[in-house]
Amino acid sequence: MSQRKLVKLPDSQMYDTECPVCVPVNKTVGLAPIRSLVRCSLEEITISSVDSAAIMTIINELGHNILRHAGRGKICFAVIGHGERLGIRITAEDSGSGIPDLAMALKPGFSRDDGLGLGLPGIRNMADDVRIASLVSGGGTFIEVLKWLS
Ligand SMILES: Nc1ncnc2c1ncn2[C@@H]1O[C@H](COP(=O)(O)OP(=O)(O)O)[C@@H](O)[C@H]1O
Ligand SMILES: [Mg+2]
């Protein structure tokens, strides 16, 4: 049975949300639980293989960033509707060291360690909206990604 509730996103519009779920991401469980949950959820809706691949890539990049840069956190996933539009809302949250310079972190090729630095810029290219709130000195990072389905 599906549960529906209204959520208010930062742009002040109301969206109808289907079964939002949150899954922990940490070094013990890795990304397998969130990946399988999202894959199963996407099988329940009509979605192109391009959109589906983009969403799985966004999940992977957010998850790898939590593991690599914060150690542990959680990812939440929901199918949302706004009028006739169907979309996906993903949030990634951790209490790690935070991102000191958001503009730099979003530049292709920028990495504070020896990563490729393509995760956050890639997410921004694939999504319709990305909002990042981060506080250094242990404040952690909160990233919200919205993608409308084609
Ligand atoms: N959850 C996070 N916590 C702290 N820093 C992060 C987090 N996610 C991303 N960052 C910072 O943003 C930078 C860019 O991220 P990204 O584009 O995914 O590149 P990469 O992970 O390859 O370094 C990272 O190098 C890191 O410094
Ligand atoms: Mg990354």
The CATH code of the domain that includes 93 is: 3.30.565.10
What is the value of pTM for the model shown? 0.90
Examine the pLDDT at 7 and tell me if it is beyond 80: no
Q: Which two tokens stand for residue 76?
A: 């939440």
Show the domain range for 53.
4-148
Q: Is 140 in the pocket of ligand 1 (CB under 6 A)?
A: no
pLDDT range class, residue 95, cuts 50, 70, 90: very high
User: For a pLDDT cut of 70, what percent of the chain falls above it?
Assistant: 87
| Strands across the sheet containing 72-82 | 4-8, 14-26, 72-82, 85-94, 140-148, 129-135
User: Ligand 1: which atom is nearest the Cα of residue 117?
Assistant: 19
**Residue 141 CB-density burial (10 A; 0-12 exposed, 13-18 middle, 19+ buried):** buried
Q: Which of 123, 119, 128, 122 lies closest to 149, judged by CA?
A: 128
Integer Cα distance of 1 and 123 in angstroms? 32
pLDDT range class, residue 19, cuts 50, 70, 90: low
Q: Is 130 in the pocket of ligand 1 (CB under 6 A)?
A: no
- How many CB atoms lie under 10 A from the CB of residue 13? 9
Q: Is 141 in the pocket of ligand 1 (CB under 6 A)?
A: yes
Q: Is 120 in the pocket of ligand 1 (CB under 6 A)?
A: yes
Q: Measured in angstroms, how far is the CA atom of residue 120 from the centroid of ligand 2?
A: 6
Total number of domains constituting the chain: 1
pLDDT range class, residue 15, cuts 50, 70, 90: low
Q: Measured in angstroms, how far is the CA atom of residue 100 from the centroid of ligand 1?
A: 10
Alpha-helical (H) ranges within 72-148 are: 102-105, 119-126
Examine the pLDDT at 88 and tell me if it is beyond 60: yes
Torsion of CA 119, 144, 128, 37, to 10 degrees: 80
Distances in Å between the Cα of 30 and the Cα atoms of 47, 49, 64, 65, 131 are 26, 24, 9, 12, 24
